[in-house]
Structure 1
């Protein structure tokens, strides 16, 4: 791997990265490029030697922030070989025709569907191949001393005690590293769960071809719930239901195959014929929880820090979880460059730069759930989106929609939020003019009839 800022001399002890998921593997690659020895610890067995956990994949939507991080270390082309571009969303109403809504004003820009497992395996391959990186599977962290970097792991061979110059927790929303910091009062966490869960289904290929348009992210918006489907290279689709945890039409309420099929026949009639294993998938695939993780501080003593979901897990409705975690890695690498590899300066700087951005995308992801679930099928929403695209064409570079700024740029999330608030004033005025013109036209037609 090549790139700017390489070949920094590493400390005598290795850097420990806890968690060999997406952010952890990418972080190991970046640290190796700087000349550090890296111990990458993972509680699971090697996922490349066995099947993925059933119903836990949630296809990812890689966009520019994630691609930028991969591009910087020469991994974009390898990763994108397993990805499928989606240039818009396809809305599936209960009745009536499908409604395609392009993501960008020119219809050319795309987010990219990729399975979490395929992406994780590719990044694991890259991390293992990087000089100085050692991957330790079946190592479950049970103890951490933030002051000295001492760690205790439970392994199949028994307890292992080791140490590191710096410990970086990239172990996901349920981070054990974060739990250790909270238990020692080195950090405070807040976890807000939605009253919604998720469950996966599969739409297989039909006669070797996609059963749905593979160039779109498919959405079935149903007001209090929704379902999405993303394409896979084997021509299947991974569908994810986001339903209430309890109450009418919830996972709790639909407990028999007959009830499930009746619910789909009523609310998702076009999907039912395409999912022959619907009842089996529904019965056996687990219900996952959805929530937002906030904590502060993300780092302590210049020696232990949290990265990605371990610091700021978000709900998946903007497709930015992995992209945001990858962007963390880029920013941490930038901070190491600017501080000459001084971790005690780099880690606080990393938190200062990323915290506001993580808070901003967490807020936008929650808001996008409401948009996807309730608004995308609305004529008013389509009108506003048309006005946005018209303004983008008329004012290139000056007016850019929130979706394009989030998905197709690397503008910091906090800046996106501020810019969009300013633009909304302009958009509100333009929409008012458009609605007024339509109303005047209808009035004129009425007078002539």
Structure 2
């Protein structure tokens, strides 16, 4: 009988204590690796106010699969997540149009609070005895080939040295680990800032924790060049985000201009936001930029790897940034299992498996902004949604709409887009065939009358 050699225990340095870093720590610890997690900021669990991006997150199948693996799916979905079963489109005239995400199988996405999710993941990681946290630690430099790190303690301002068998960069869109990788020969990197920014607002609860709008919807106010969205929170409030060109924000610098803009563009939202609250939220903040990042490879030899936004930051319009990052953790864990934690095999396989897929979802996220702020208002879009629903109902194993394959399956993103391209081809041919048949019928009728 063949004896399977047990996997070696590795010393792993995770840079970044955000969502993906905390989840990665759980996966590595579950495999009995020793994990040191270094985070630039203070411990989010003891800080009263967290500055920076706080757009609510839409949790779907890919993220849920990763959470399920470490036993947190039920806690975050059933106990905290709010199901969003459809888009609710708000017209300027106050008309509401509901567009279900999955009328066939009734799948939905879940609104989860970023901070709550981060705290839950940190608490889960902390329960493993082989995980140690180091907050207020800034990565200054690193020898990625040899696993050597230099960190700055932001409280004492003293430098510290650390080493690891594997350095994991989960430190976000402006990753320090990726910046060091970029100095390597043949490293490909690109970043794109869109000309639109975002600002977070709030619709407070109505009465004692009651929702001011339909609870189980992602609310969208599409206005062509810009849009506003709202996701529900556990306390009955809505996290509202205005996405618009920076030039639009620049034109709203006075109370009068801001009120006029909102009354014209989002008349039904004004009483929900409250004029005073709107003024405070808007003028206390500045619009923040949105960036998309693509790079290749995701690893350095057998000693470093990047994941999540560090590897593939994307604009938030497909709701897949977090889900893709969580799926990174799951896929890397599967590869560690497959190769018995042999990093010389695991890391190149991760790059090969994930890079192109990550580029595809970054492009899809860009496209979906156009869909959300403009196309959802068009009759052609509604017709196509109905057509996709009918064909999906008739041929569930063959005709899977793009949105469903991205959000409600683990299908590789490349296959999702290839499937969509095939569907477009089938529809075009169907239209040509139908046109030819109608033309033949019409031609026959005309000839019959002639003779």
Which structure 1 residue ranges, 4+ long, deviate > 4 Å from structure 2? 429-438
Cα distance change on mapping 1:101 and 1:15 into 2, 3 Å: same
Shift of 1:284: 1.3
Quick check: 2:44–2:50 contact (8 Å CA) kept in 1? no
What is the alpha-carbon distance in structure 2 between the residues aligned to residue 370 and residue 294 of structure 1?
Answer: 20
Alignment match, 1:134: 132
What is the alpha-carbon distance in structure 2 between the residues aligned to residue 433 and residue 186 of structure 1?
Answer: 49
Alignment match, 1:101: 99
Quick check: 1:65–1:326 contact (8 Å CA) kept in 2? yes
* Secondary structure of 2:14 counterpart: strand
What is the alpha-carbon distance in structure 2 between the residues aligned to residue 431 and residue 288 of structure 1?
Answer: 44
What is the alpha-carbon distance in structure 1 between the residues aligned to residue 319 and residue 38 of structure 2?
Answer: 26
Shift of 1:189: 2.0
What is the alpha-carbon distance in structure 1 between the residues aligned to residue 334 and residue 405 of structure 2?
Answer: 22
Cα distance change on mapping 1:55 and 1:254 into 2, 3 Å: farther
Alignment match, 1:353: 353
Quick check: 1:387–1:431 contact (8 Å CA) kept in 2? no
* Secondary structure of 1:47 counterpart: coil
Residue 9 (1) aligns with residue 8 (2): yes
What is the alpha-carbon distance in structure 2 between the residues aligned to residue 136 and residue 173 of structure 1?
Answer: 21
Residue 86 (1) aligns with residue 84 (2): yes
Deviations 1:87-107 (A, max 9, x none): 000000111420000001326
Q: Of 144, 152, 163, which residue of structure 2 is paired with 1:146?
A: 144
What is the alpha-carbon distance in structure 2 between the residues aligned to residue 54 and residue 283 of structure 1?
Answer: 16
TM-score (norm 1): 0.92
User: Which structure has the bigger radius of gyration?
Assistant: 2
TM-score (norm 2): 0.91
Deviations 1:219-259 (A, max 9, x none): 0000000111000000000011110012xxx1122112221
What is the alpha-carbon distance in structure 2 between the residues aligned to residue 431 and residue 128 of structure 1?
Answer: 58
Quick check: 2:94–2:267 contact (8 Å CA) kept in 1? no
Alignment match, 2:56: 59
Shift of 1:388: 0.6
Shift of 1:260: 1.0
Alignment match, 1:39: 36
What is the alpha-carbon distance in structure 1 between the residues aligned to residue 183 and residue 50 of structure 2?
Answer: 30
What is the alpha-carbon distance in structure 2 between the residues aligned to residue 329 and residue 437 of structure 1?
Answer: 52
What is the alpha-carbon distance in structure 1 between the residues aligned to residue 273 and residue 88 of structure 2?
Answer: 18
Unaligned 5+ segments in structure 1 are: 439-449
Shift of 1:201: 0.2
Quick check: 1:52–1:117 contact (8 Å CA) kept in 2? no
Alignment match, 1:174: 174
Cα distance change on mapping 1:434 and 1:134 into 2, 3 Å: farther
Residue 231 (1) aligns with residue 229 (2): no
Task: Identify the range of structure 1 (54-63 vs 348-357) with the bigger mean alpha-carbon deviation.
Answer: 54-63
What is the alpha-carbon distance in structure 1 between the residues aligned to residue 185 and residue 242 of structure 2?
Answer: 37
What is the alpha-carbon distance in structure 2 between the residues aligned to residue 15 and residue 193 of structure 1?
Answer: 32
